């Protein structure tokens, strides 16, 4: 099928719009954190957001053609990243939550999606990585877990304090504490729990009080 001149111009215009859209996505600082590597771990493309991230967590200004393994300055992080890159270059798709970054600068948690890149013949020529910063989500989950642990320990501590045999006077109902001092029942319980007391008079005691007062 042969395109007319006007049709060819329209096709070119549409292609240019698509290219511009993709370029804007990659160059947006708030867009997709994305990068691609060749089989030697050299950058073939990356989003501006990724370049900013590498500057923040490794202190390096990256360029196309630069080996990412030279940028990652932590031996442990470098080995971890290479293992993931090699898995993608072997044809695997990975979805991992990982922590990367120079401890002297900034470490963050990331959700990383690794995928192989294929040429027209089906041969793997590199890989892509799509990255999501999940630091706030992980830190919020850790804060929640710590708060739940503190609450559990606090409850367990309060329960332990009121467990076991409590020495109580059979006459005045005072309780002997660990210092061999005798305390009112409500004083002891208030000191060993969050319970609070409101005082009143039961019917039996009220009748006794009225009888005692009437006998005077």
**Is CATH 3.30.450.20 correct for 31-138?**
yes
In the predicted model, residues of the chain with pLDDT beneath 50 are 29, 31
Q: What residues does each domain of the chain span?
A: 31-138, 161-216
Reading the block at residue 103, the tokens are: 């401890």
What are the tens digits of pLDDT across the range 97-107? 999 999 889 89
What are the tens digits of pLDDT across the range 56-94? 999 999 999 999 999 999 999 999 999 999 999 999 999
pLDDT of residue 199: 73
Q: How far apart are CA 10 and CA 24, in angstroms?
A: 21
User: 158-163 — which CB contacts under 8 Å span 24+ positions?
Assistant: 158/192, 158/193, 158/194, 161/192, 161/193, 162/189, 162/192, 162/193
């Amino acid at each position: 099928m042969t395109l007319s001149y006007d049709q060819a111009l329209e096709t070119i215009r549409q292609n240019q719009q698509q290219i511009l859209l993709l370029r804007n996505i990659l160059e947006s600082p708030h867009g997709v954190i994305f990068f691609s590597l060749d089989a030697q771990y050299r950058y073939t493309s990356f989003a501006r957001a990724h370049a900013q991230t590498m500057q923040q967590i490794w202190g390096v200004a990256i360029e196309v053609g630069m080996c990412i393994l030279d940028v990652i300055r932590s031996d442990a992080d470098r080995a971890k990243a290479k293992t993931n890159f090699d898995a993608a270059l072997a044809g695997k798709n990975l979805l991992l939550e990982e922590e990367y970054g120079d401890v002297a600068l900034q470490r963050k948690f990331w959700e990383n999606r690794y995928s192989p890149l294929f040429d027209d013949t089906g041969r793997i020529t590199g890989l892509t990585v799509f990255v999501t910063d999940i630091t706030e989500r992980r830190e919020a989950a850790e804060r929640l877990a710590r708060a739940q642990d503190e609450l559990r320990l606090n409850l367990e501590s309060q329960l332990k304090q009121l467990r076991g045999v409590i020495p109580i006077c059979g006459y005045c109902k005072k309780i002997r504490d660990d210092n061999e001092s005798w305390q009112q029942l409500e004083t002891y319980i208030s000191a060993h729990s969050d319970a609070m007391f409101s005082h009143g008079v039961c019917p039996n005691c009220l009748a006794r009080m009225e009888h005692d007062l009437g006998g005077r």
